[in-house]
Amino acid sequence: MAKIELTKVAVEYPVPHMQNRSFVGAVKNAAIGGLIKREKVLRIRALDGVTLTLRDGDRLGILGRNGAGKTTLLKTMAAILPPTEGRVCVEGRISPLISMMLGLDNEASGYENIRIRGRLMGLNDSQIDEVMPEIADFTELEDYLELPLKTYSSGMRMRLTFAASTSFRPEVLLLDEWLGTGDVEFRNKAARRLRALIDKSGVFVFASHSRSLHQRISNKGAVLENGKLLFFGDIDDAFEFQDERRAKHERREKTRQAARAKKKSG
């Protein structure tokens, strides 16, 4: 049984050495990004009072503009980021396909890095040994797997971490939008593998700007804005909510521009 339960979760990023009042004043009300709080230390409130529950069979699409808090939400679910306020409770083995390069060792070989990734996912050595040949085969990196990671191109690193991170059936699968790298052949192969993994997972959470991907994969949607969860429900309703909000925003912008133009001319 997989489950994710977030109760009034807030996450703040401290930004040391940033206390310039005029800068804060200028960006405080931006529509993009989290809320900037000027206290002793400048803080960005990336999530604000997020409450939601996900259970087996839920495939959640996280929607929102740049800086809305999508990645922060995924990282909080993955326990990569601790919440500043509130409670996060996750049941089931998590596979976070986010911060993919986290924990990799540049000096270690490809094989050793696969082992590191497996351990990070809570597997023991014999479980890793069992899947090692299949992972190696999927990467197509062959002799490179003997060489240190520092000799890999970014696409080769991606092949390695993707293959290692998708070899075990997760109960909770978390995915940030990142499949854009790699050559076309690998991208297609990776997409097929990912699809199979999503089908096998209990709970799946996915942040993306692609509506078509969400409509194919997600059955629930969460709309984030400035770190606040504005909508949580059916994925089609989430898009409808987002479209209405966008239209309202555009109308407001047009009215503002017209008022400015009128003021200038008169």
Taking the least distance from each CB to ligand ATP, the nearer of 22 and 66 is 66
Position among 2, 4, 6, 46 found at the interface with ligand ATP (CB under 6 A): 46
Q: How far is the CB of 132 from ligand ATP (least distance, A)?
A: 33
- Find the shortest distance in angstroms from Cβ 30 to ligand ATP: 9
Token reading at 140: 């197509």
Taking CB under 6 A as the rule, does residue 72 contact ligand ATP?
yes
Considering only the stretches 67-75, 195-203, 237-245, 254-262, report the one whose residues sit in contact with ligand ATP under the rule CB under 6 A: 67-75
| Cα gap 86→34, rounded to integer Å | 17
Among 6, 58, 67, 138, binds ligand ATP (CB under 6 A): 67
3-class DSSP state of 13: strand
Q: CA-to-CA distance for 261 and 255, rounded, in angstroms?
A: 10
The closest of 155, 163, 212, 152 to 192, measured between CA atoms, is: 163
Told to check if 29 binds ligand ATP by CB under 6 A, we report: no
Classify residue 135 as exposed, middle or buried by CB count within 10 Å of its CB (0-12, 13-18, 19+): buried
12/171 with CB nearer ligand ATP: 12
CB of 33 to ligand ATP, least distance (A): 3
Q: Quick one: residue 212, left, alpha or beta (phi over 0 = left, psi -120 to 50 = alpha)?
A: alpha
Question: Is residue 44 close enough to count as binding ligand ATP by CB under 6 A?
Answer: yes
Q: Is 33 in the site for ligand ATP (CB under 6 A)?
A: yes
Q: Is-contact 149 108, C-beta < 8 A?
A: yes
Contact between 110 and ligand ATP per CB under 6 A: no
3-class DSSP string for 145-197: HHCEHHHCCHHHHHHHHHHHHCCCCCCEEEEECCCCCCCHHHHHHHHHHHHHH
How many residues bind ligand ATP (CB under 6 A)? The answer is 14
Check residue 64 for interaction with ligand ATP (CB under 6 A): yes
What are the beta bridge partners of residue 218? none
Q: Which stretch binds ligand ATP (CB under 6 A): 51-59, 69-77, 139-147, 215-223?
A: 69-77
Q: Does 34 bind ligand ATP (CB under 6 A)?
A: yes
Rounded distance, CA 239 to CA 248, Å? 14
Counting every residue, how long is the chain?
A: 266
In whole angstroms, how close is the CB of 139 to ligand ATP at the nearest point?
Answer: 26
Of residues 201 and 208, the one with the C-beta less far from ligand ATP: 208
Residue ranges in contact with ligand ATP by CB under 6 A: 13, 15, 33-34, 44, 46, 64, 66-72
